[in-house]
Structure 1
């Protein structure tokens, strides 16, 4: 998958993004209460990320959406902190640079929105993702920030923008 495009989500992408999230999360044991898979916005991501200081992007390969990621204000956080949210990729989009490109796009959007920090939550088993976060400059935290409602996550990171 050397040719991929990262672009803002469109309404026509909502079903594909929901399917990706619902396929990828169980792959890493993220099922049940406390995980983003249960967020109502999974089925209407375009609308959810049309809110102020929010953006969601998709990775497209040969006209097919194969991943996505976004930023939004951290729920329950201060106005300077955003959250990297719902960044998931199908297996064919992993290990080809799409994650790093998506990370850069999301962090650029966060800076443009005026955020000074970016926070994220993940699972200990998502090793490749954790390596990407560290390469991107995120540092681990001992405890969560804000009130994301994702009590199932057990690894927390922050990046000064």
Structure 2
């Protein structure tokens, strides 16, 4: 398995992985990344300065992705952990851990000192992983992601 940067050819498979995850977990579609139009064109979204999207791939199969993005309205020095989704076949095999480690290193290299994230209780396994990586819960959201259905907010100093 390799962790590599996003390519334009990844757009459709990654959008499918993201949206299928919401359907699989019966998670809200409105007010989440599911209905966010940028999900269908991640390559364009991640051309933004100080952003990075990493893709996990194994023998030519895209397994999932995770990125760092300077979401509007975040405090200075904060980036958001975004688009962290894996195909069912990739879960429980350390792929998420490798993506998380890569994104923490990328955030540091880009000069960020905190990583913020938003999630849902439907993604309990992911939330447990965030806690293992020392993300701490917040009482309210930071920034203006537009993902108003998310009700879990966490932050980590790096």
TM-score strictly above 0.5:
yes
130, 137, 141: which is aligned to 1:144? 141
TM superposition shift of 1:32: 3.1
Equivalent residue number for residue 92 of structure 1: 89
1:82 aligns with 2:79: yes
- Following the alignment from structure 1 to structure 2, what is the Cα–Cα distance between the partners of residues 78 and 127? 26
Shift >3 Å, 4+ stretches: none
Equivalent residue number for residue 113 of structure 2: 116
Structure 2 unaligned segments of length 5 or more: list them. Answer: none
Equivalent residue number for residue 98 of structure 2: 101
TM superposition shift of 1:28: 2.3
Structure 1 unaligned segments of length 5 or more: list them. Answer: none
34, 38, 43: which is aligned to 2:35? 38
1:160 aligns with 2:157: yes
**TM-align CA RMSD:** 1.1
Question: Given the two structures, how large is their TM-score scaled by the length of structure 2?
Answer: 0.96
Equivalent residue number for residue 25 of structure 2: 28
TM superposition shift of 1:99: 0.5
2:34 match: secondary structure: helix
1:65 aligns with 2:62: yes
